[in-house]
Amino acid sequence: MSTYFIGDIHGCYEELKIILAKVKFNAALDTLWLTGDLVARGPDSLKVLRFVRSLGDSVRMVLGNHDLQLLAVYAGVSHNKLQDHITSLLEAPDSDVLMHWLRHQPILQVDEERKLVMVHAGITPYWDLSTARQCAQEVEMVLKSNNYALFLNAMYGDMPNNWSSGLTGLSRLRLISNIFTRIRYCFPNGQLEMHYKDTPEKTPVNLKPWFALGGPISDLYSIVFGHWSSLMGQGTPKHIYGLDTGCYWGGQLTLLRWEDKTFTRVPSEL
């Protein structure tokens, strides 16, 4: 029995099947953790969602920003961008079933036995695990509710960009969503900077990668994340694993076997 983690798939179905075959993934025995952004950019988002859903309890995943964007398009509160290649998914006969399944997925995964946390983008240094769990549940609950479109319509925007336990309503949900699905850099005080995407060695001195600021969670848990393809899995602390290696940009799809921390990579076929 093995525990496998795979970075952002982004509709790269063929690469997903190849990498799982390389490690002889067995859905009856193994567990597959996915860092989110299953869809968009790559050619086969529909196949990816159908396949991942078919794995049932063998999968533990989190939602990424592109997964939320897909749900927003489906809900009619955002535009379908041609470069996302999701039209076939939206028009599929099982689209309603897949979207219902997708919006019932979490944005935070925690394994206490392994002392392990998985998110799509990152964690603010202000949060301990109890706060992170509570914040995740707030977004997850509204996504599962009949009011999910209201949240999805309000999630766009970069403000507020500083955590406070006193935040309420849609502003609070927007910041929580941005932390879990969009964060890369923070100012030294933990305030989010939402636009800079380059690698850390090229950043202005007043910005720090979220994982460089420490905090109650990263002090006690290993963290697995995706989202930041320009890192190419490099430059993180020893117990923090960035797995998005830009498959949809012509890079690689990356898999981590947790038990021995070995990596498997397959090149993009795009």
pLDDT value for 205? 85
pLDDT value for 202? 86
pLDDT value for 187? 93
pLDDT value for 243? 98
Q: Residue 59: which CATH number?
A: 3.60.21.10
156-160 CB contacts, 8 Å cutoff, 24+ apart = 156/78, 158/192, 158/194, 158/195
Q: Residues 131-152: what's their mean pLDDT?
A: 98
pLDDT value for 204? 86
- The domain of 13 spans 3-267
Tell me the pLDDT tens digit for each residue of 187-216: 988 899 998 988 998 888 889 999 999 999
Structural domains of the chain, count: 1
pLDDT value for 270? 77
pLDDT value for 59? 98
pTM assigned to the model: 0.97
Q: Which residue has the tokens 């309000």?
A: 154
